Amino acid sequence: MTPPAINMNSTASATTTGDKPKSSAFRIGLGDITVNNLGQIKRLNTVLFPVVYNSSFYKEILEVGEFAKIIYFNDVCVGGVCCRKEPIAGDKSSQNLYIATLGVLAPYRRLGLGSRLLTHILENAELTSSSEPKIGKVYLHVQKTNEEALEFYKKHGFQIAETLENYYPQFDDKDAYRLEKVLN
């Protein structure tokens, strides 16, 4: 299936092992999340995350534009990112951006796809139009035991801002870090 709107294309070489894609050249594209492909991001989130997101979550991501994307690998949907803008109480000129989900299917990790999604979000956060409040900070939550995610976000300039005990009471690994990156 061809993505509805590709913002980025690249051809790159991959030397992979194990169950990773064995293509020597591949195409990567970012696509908008629309009502026509909303089922794809719902299915991805079901596979990638232990949290079940409700219909209002998916309604909101249809309205955040560049802050919700699907990533395609050779025209196959393999990951996505969903964010929400959050006003700052008492500050009409600034807002924060919360990354609710960012994930890539396991066989497609370590190919730069998650980095492509995150870079897209960060670049667009810095380009907020003059008619909107400026995004001052991007933040998210990660389980304390998720070392792969912690390493990924730290590599992209995020820092641990807070440790939250029992943040995920429904899971065995209940504690989380709030990671954040302050933008210029």
Query: Is residue 152 a part of any domain in this protein?
Result: yes
Mean pLDDT to the nearest integer, 64-92: 95
Say which residues have a Cβ less than 8 Å from residue 67's Cβ, sequence separation at least 6.
81, 82, 83, 84, 85, 97, 121, 124, 125
Query: Is residue 175 a part of any domain in this protein?
Result: yes
What is the residue whose two structure tokens read 């996505």?
80
Mean pLDDT to the nearest integer, 62-75: 96
C-alpha to C-alpha distance for 158 and 174, rounded to whole angstroms = 21
The pLDDT tens digits for 141-178 are 999 999 999 999 999 999 999 999 999 999 899 999 99
Has residue 13 got a pLDDT over 80?
Answer: no
The pLDDT tens digits for 105-135 are 999 999 999 999 999 999 999 987 777 889 9
Query: Is residue 91 a part of any domain in this protein?
Result: yes
For residue 95, which of 53, 56, 125, 66 has the smallest C-alpha distance?
125
Query: Is residue 51 a part of any domain in this protein?
Result: yes
Are 102 and 149 in contact, with CB atoms under 8 Å apart? no
Query: Is residue 14 a part of any domain in this protein?
Result: yes
| pLDDT for position 12 | 41
Determine the structural domain holding residue 138 and report its residue range: 9-182
Query: Is residue 1 a part of any domain in this protein?
Result: no
Name the average pLDDT for the chain.
87
Strand, helix or coil at 12? strand
Where in the sequence numbering do the catalytic residues fall? 98, 141
Residue 62 token pair: 């249809």
Query: Is residue 124 a part of any domain in this protein?
Result: yes
| pLDDT for position 19 | 54
Domain count, the chain: 1
Query: Is residue 4 a part of any domain in this protein?
Result: no
CATH code for the domain in which residue 51 is found? 3.40.630.30
